[in-house]
Amino acid sequence: MNLPEHDLQLNPSLNTTLFRIFQETLTNVARHARASRVDVSLQEDDKALLLSIRDNGRGITETQLNDPHSLGLLGMHERVAHWNGKLSVRGEAGKGTTVTVHIPIPPLENGEIT
């Protein structure tokens, strides 16, 4: 796990967004991936937050990615879009799946990122 050395002062709603995406991704790994390892990274720079979750499982397929009944993926896309961010989900057969979230850091308000 690779996390910032300091606490991020984020808007509670943005914290919830990141947590729910992380939670949904781990749920998908547990249900579908048959993975033995999950690597997580959260990085911050002056302009954006980058959350990356990668497993070493069987890899999500294009069919699964495009399934209109995949409400978990749809929900993750909607959560990220709310923050004007981008979500990428990529799978490679037998090598795992990587979920990447890129969210621009909103301007500071009262010392807290909103």
In a domain? residue 111? no
Question: How many domains, the chain?
Answer: 1
Give the pLDDT score at 13: 93
CATH of the domain at 34: 3.30.565.10
- 23: domain range? 12-106
Give the pLDDT score at 107: 72
Tokens standing for 76? 């993750």
C-alpha to C-alpha distances, 10 to 96, 105, 110, nearest whole angstrom: 30, 9, 11
106 burial level (CB within 10 Å; 0-12, 13-18, 19+): middle
Per-residue model confidence as pLDDT tens digits over 5-59: 777 778 899 999 999 999 999 999 999 999 999 999 999 987 899 999 999 999 9
The Cα–Cα gap between 98 and 109 comes to 32
The Cα–Cα gap between 58 and 35 comes to 7
